[in-house]
Structure 1
C-alpha cells in the first residue's frame, strides 16, 4: 500500500505523461507536492521504483515510465504550482543552509589520461550550500593527476555548466569531441594547454578547435569508506 505522498506523486507523473509525453522535472515534482527539498522527491521515486510502480528509462534524461497504478487509485493528482505560487514559497535570501538538491551524475571523468565522460541517468544529492547559481552536474573523478589541487580518485566533481572559462580555472574539457578530462585551463600562443596538478604528469596541448569547455569546477564531494 502506498503512502499518500507516493500516491500523489505517481498520479502527478502519470497525468504529466498523458498530457505532454514528458516526465516532470524534480523541481516540478517538489513544488507540486509541496516538499521542502528534491531529496524528498528522490526518496519517493526510489520507493515507487522498488515497489514496481515506475521505472527509469535508460539513456534518456527525465525519463520515467508508470508501470501500474495502485488498486485504490482514487485521489486526484496535485495541481502543478504556478510561477506566482512558487515564488511566494521561495525563501527571501538564497536556499536554506540544510537544503539538499539532486543534480545529474554523468559518469566518470579522468584526472589523468582522458577517458570518456559517460552520459548516465543517475543523480547525486548535494547540499545546496555547495552550489551557487546556474545549472550544475556531477562527475566521478578517475585518476590522480589533480591530487595537488585536492581532487582525488573517487571524488565527485560538482560542475557548473558553461562554455567559457578564464585562464587558471579548473574545467571539464571535451577533447576532439570524444574524451573529457578535468584540468586547469591555460591559453598560450594560440593554443590551449590543459595543466595537471601532479608533477608526474605533463601538460596536454591542443589546437583551439580541439578543446570545448563543458563546465568549470564548482565544488567537491568525497565519500569516506
Structure 2
C-alpha cells in the first residue's frame, strides 16, 4: 500500500478501478457507499475529496465523472491492476508510446491489458453510426493485422483519425460511420495504420448510455 493514503482509501480506489474495468464507466457515490457500507454520502465524499487532494482522482459535478489519474494507475499497477496507456496525441516520427505522449493509464479488462495496445480518446462524430461517440476511450491493438472493414486508428500527415479501413491496390479508403460525411481516399504510402480498435469505454453523462 502507498504511504500517502489509508488502507480504506486504497480499497475505494481499487473498487473504482474495478468498476471501470468491468462496466466501462465509474461508480456513483451511492454505489461506493453501498459497497463499503457507508451510510452517509458525506462519508464517501470525504474519501473522494482526500483521493482528489492527493492526486489520485479527478472529478467534475456530473454523475459518474470520477477519473483515475496517472498517479493512481501507477499505484494500481504496482498492486496488479490491469491498465493501458492513454495517448494524448499521435505524432508522426515519434514513438507512439513515448512518455511525453501518455496522459494517464486507463483501467481495462485483464485480457485487453495483455495485448500490445493503447487507448485513445475519440474526438468528433465521424463514427457515431458504429456506436463510437466523441469522448469515448477506444482500445487500439497494435499487434492485430488490419483487415478490410476493420475500424482502425490511422495517421495522416501527423493527425490521428478513426475510420473503417478499405485498402485498394495503391490507395486507401478511410470510411466514416456517418452518412453526412464522405469517405477519404489517400495514397497508400501516406497512411500509417497504428492499430485496430478492439474495445471502447464510455463515461455516462448528459443522458448518454453505454
The TM-score normalised by the length of structure 1 is 0.51
1:184 maps onto 2:142 in alignment: no
Between Structure 1 and Structure 2, whose CA radius of gyration is higher?
Answer: 1
Question: Which runs of no fewer than 5 residues in structure 2 stay unpaired?
Answer: 4-13, 19-49, 56-69, 72-79, 91-99, 206-210
Question: Which runs of no fewer than 5 residues in structure 1 stay unpaired?
Answer: 8-35, 41-45, 52-61, 64-98, 110-117
> What is the 5 A alignment of 1:30-69?
50=54
Distance 2:113 2:203 in 1: 22
Distance 1:142 1:108 in 2: 11
- Does structure 2 conserve the Cα–Cα contact (< 8 Å) formed by 1:168 and 1:184? yes
Q: Residues 196 and 202 from structure 1, CA distance in 2 versus in 1: closer, same or farther, beyond 3 angstroms?
A: same
What residue in structure 2 maps to residue 126 of structure 1?
Answer: 108
Greater helix share, 1 or 2? 2
1:158 maps onto 2:139 in alignment: yes
1:137 maps onto 2:141 in alignment: no
Q: After superposition, give the CA deviation of every residue in 1:8-47 in whole Å (9 maximum; x if it has no partner).
A: xxxxxxxxxxxxxxxxxxxxxxxxxxxx99x59xxxxx97
What residue in structure 1 maps to residue 185 of structure 2?
Answer: 205
What residue in structure 2 maps to residue 6 of structure 1?
Answer: 2
Distance 1:137 1:200 in 2: 29
Which of 117, 120, 128 is the equivalent residue of 1:147?
128
Structure number with the bigger relative contact order (C-alpha 8 A, sep ≥ 6) is: 2
Q: After superposition, give the CA deviation of every residue in 1:87-129 in whole Å (9 maximum; x if it has no partner).
A: xxxxxxxxxxxx95111011268xxxxxxxx923311112325
- Does structure 2 conserve the Cα–Cα contact (< 8 Å) formed by 1:160 and 1:215? yes
Distance 2:104 2:182 in 1: 33
Which of 191, 196, 201 is the equivalent residue of 1:221?
201
Cα RMSD (Å): 3.6
Moved over 6 A (4+): none
- Residue 181 (structure 1) shift: 0.3
Aligned residues: 135
